[in-house]
Homo-oligomer: A and B are copies of this chain.
């Protein structure tokens, strides 16, 4: 399961995407709209900003905004940033690989192979679907 952090991030990003035309959006507005603790959300948005996904403006009229159009922000990127590996096992992770301590040889480990396939099938979706694809469907 994705952590609350990542879930909150997605909802916040959706809100920002659905309001791109309105200039910088307040943390407090997002927090209220999406029912998220404002202080917790603050940390999350900062992290997204430091990763170059969001930009911000301080002072009156300030807030957060997307650095790129929604269709260029892949879901996989957000998950990896805030949650870490997408793979179910460290030994099949592309970005967070760790050697398996419990098997003799990954090359002939059947678990490794099957979990690699699960990873591929998830990535096929998560690398290609973007913020644009998770906006509210009526909008």
Contacts and interface: CB of A to CB of B under 8 A. Distances in A.
Chain A interface bracket (under 10, 10 to 19, 20 to 34, 35 or more):
35 or more
Interface in A55-95: 75, 84-85, 87-90
Interface string A8-32: 1011001000000000000000000
Nearest to A17: B110
A60 to B, nearest CB: 28
Contacts of A14: 110-111
Nearest to A122: B118
A85 B118 contact: no
A96 B132 CA distance: 27
B10 A111 contact: yes
Contacts of A1: 84-85, 87-90
Contacts of A114: 75, 125, 129, 133-134
Interface string A121-139: 1101110010001111110
Given A1-B87, A114-B134, A117-B125, 17 more contacts: A1-B84, A1-B88, A2-B88, A7-B89, A7-B102, A11-B103, A11-B111, A14-B110, A34-B103, A35-B101, A75-B114, A108-B136, A109-B137, A110-B133, A114-B125, A114-B129, A121-B122
